Each structure stands twice: as C-alpha cells, then as structure tokens.
Amino acid sequence: MAPSIGIPRGVWMLGFVSLFMDVSSEMIHSLLPVFMVTSLGATALMVGVVEGVAEATALIVKVFSGTISDWLGKRKGLTVLGYGLAAISKPVFALALTVHWVFVARFMDRIGKGIRGAPRDALIADLAPPEIRGAAYGLRQSLDTVGAFLGPLLAVALMLLWAGDFRTVFWFAVIPAALSVLILIFGVHEPGTGKVHPRPISPVQWQTLKEFRGAYWWVVVAGGVFTLARFSEAFLILRAQQLGLADSFAPMVLVIMNVVYALSAYPSGRLADRMSHTKLLAAGLAVLILSDLVLAQAQGLAAVVVGVVLWGLHMGMTQGLLATMVAGTAPAHLRGTAFGFFNLVSGIAMLIASVLAGLLWDQLGAAVTFYAGAAFSILALALLMLRRGS
C-alpha cells in the first residue's frame, strides 16, 4: 500500500538546503578537474589524491559528527556548522594559485560536508515516520541532485559569458552557498528528542557499537565494497575531455549525470519502501557495471554520454537506498553513530578507490581505470548474491 502521510516541511527545507549548497559546490567541482589539469598542471594521480582525500575526509568525519549528535541529542547545530564551513571554503577556490590551495579548499569543504552529513541524515529520520522514510530520503536526494545539475549548467553559462575564466565562476559560487546556510538557520526546526536514553560519558563511545546487530554490519560491509567500485566523478569529466569535450562544456558531464540521478532518486526511494533492498541494490550494481564497461570502451563523446547516463541511474537507484538501509537497521537513539560509522568505512574505501583510479589512469590508461571499477562492482554483486543465498 502506498504511504499516505505527507513529507514533513522540515524534510523539504533540508532538501532545499542541499539544493543550494550543491548548486554552489557543483559550479566549482564540475570545472575543478579541468582547472587542475589545464591551469595548475596536475596529473590524473594528483586529481585522484585530491578527490580521494577530500571525499574520504567528508565520510570519515561523519563518524564523529554523528556520534556527537547522538550524545548531544541535537542535530541542527552540527548541521549548521557543517554547511557554514563549506560556505566559507568557496572563496579559496577562486584564489587558488597551486594544487595545494585546491587541496586545502577541498579539505575545508569536505570537512564541512562530513560534519553536517550524519546529523542531517539522522535529523531526516527524526522528522519522517518510518513508513515514508524511503520517500523522505529519496526526496532530499532528488532536491540535492537538482542542485547538482543546476550548478554545472550555471558553470557552463558563466564560462561562456566570461570567456572561460574559471576564477570568476568560482566567485559566483559563493552566493548559493550563503543562501543554503540562511535557509537552514531560519527554515528548519528540530523536533523533540522523544524517549530519553542514557547519555554516554563521552560523545565517542566505541562500546555502543555492540548495540548494532548483524543486519547493520552487513550494510556497512556492502557499502564499503560498493564504494570501492565507485571512484570520483572527476574521472568522468577527464574521460570526456580526453575524447574531445571543450573545457567550457566540461560541466555538462555532471549535468547529464545529475539529471538522470534526480529523475531516478525519488522513484527509487519509493520503490525501496515496497521491494527487497538487496534486489534493488543488486540492480544498481548491474547498471554501474554496464556504465564502467561503456566508458572503458568509449571511442567518442556519444559513448561517454551513454556511460554517464548509466552512472547517474545507478546513483539514483542506490544512494538514498543505502541511507534507508542504515536507518532501518540501527537503534533510533544511535542513528547518528550508525550513519557515522557507515561513512567511516565508506570513506576509507573512497580514498583507496580514487587514488587507485588516478594511478591506473596515469600508468595504464583510462580504459583500465573503468575496467577496474567494473571488477569491484562484480565483487560487490557477488557478495549480495551470497547474502541472498544464505
């Protein structure tokens, strides 16, 4: 039966917060790999290290922010801190003179993302009743992804308007980041904490991990292997540039990916409320394998478009689903910790995946990078099949 309860206003506001911050972030990130390679002289390995460390930092920091939010019994304060730090980092990209500046800016930005991520996800679980939780996560992810394709579109328009001036585009990105923080401060109200649970002496208590059951740990392992299969989208942009895409149109790669992502995230979230999570995750992995194979064998931009479309579809099918699986297998009073530890494991996997992708790209070529992604996807799919079989 379809859920009849409406999505709470707070979830909608969090979705718009994500939308505006993603507009800002993707205006920068959709151009950043090309900016690093063409303007700052970076190699693919350097791109992989910057992206891998940045994304891993975001995921690893979530383990502490999530646990601290459980300890405090509050989510919004940490969420505001995280979005605020990300907003402050934006001008550093415009001022960057070397790869080291970019590294610092990405590090600041991703620390902000790490601080806000787990408390925000736990806050959605606090706001949304269980019967519509998949739809709530799917809605926030869809709005987030709308921002993620509007940002690159604005980047293309500004690059054409300002004759390919990367830094001017980066300055414009400051505006939606500020709007995101303002919406969060004035538009989201935290619900009551409900049932009181004993507060640990320290906000980081590894003993609390004993309260998680086997179903949660299986989600953690599956998420880690899945992340190994999905390296940074920076390599999608570099692949398109390698096959002839002009610098000013590089953001179109993320536009295409995120249009598909946005269109598929909410329906996939609704689907997650009705069918086996394992089956849906397996379908998403199958789509990722196809994407990697298409990108590995691509001889022109048309094939790249097909690969990017498939990549966006797998993101829409799986990202909200993994959040739903974590929320559904963790105790309510430890959801922040659950999201945090899940992201700790995924962060380590993301670092390995992106550095390995850059190394393979430099040493053996782009095709091998995507073939390796397909291999890890097949491994993750095999683990899912073993889980179903047992």
Structure tokens at 255: 């536009």
The alpha carbon of 287 is separated from its chain's Cα centroid by a whole number of angstroms, namely 18
How far apart, in whole angstroms, are the C-alpha atoms of residue 25 and residue 18?
Answer: 10
Amino acid at 248: S
Contact 124, 143 (CB under 8 A): no
Structure tokens at 155: 């980047």
CA-based end-to-end distance of the chain: 29
Neighbours of 359 (CB within 10 A): 16
Contact 342, 219 (CB under 8 A): yes
Amino acid at 288: L
Verdict on whether the full-model pTM lies above 0.85? no
Neighbours of 386 (CB within 10 A): 9
Amino acid at 378: I
Q: For each of the chain's 390 residues, which pLDDT tens digit applies?
A: 344 467 888 889 999 999 999 999 999 999 999 999 999 989 999 999 998 888 788 777 766 776 677 777 777 888 999 999 999 999 999 999 999 999 999 999 989 988 887 788 888 888 888 778 778 888 887 888 788 778 999 999 999 999 889 999 999 999 999 999 999 999 888 876 545 455 544 444 556 667 777 778 888 888 888 888 888 888 999 999 999 999 899 999 988 988 888 788 778 878 877 777 778 888 899 999 999 999 999 999 999 999 999 999 998 888 777 777 788 787 777 776 777 778 778 888 888 988 999 999 999 999 999 999 999 899 888 877 776 655
Amino acid at 327: A
How far apart, in whole angstroms, are the C-alpha atoms of residue 341 and residue 339?
Answer: 6
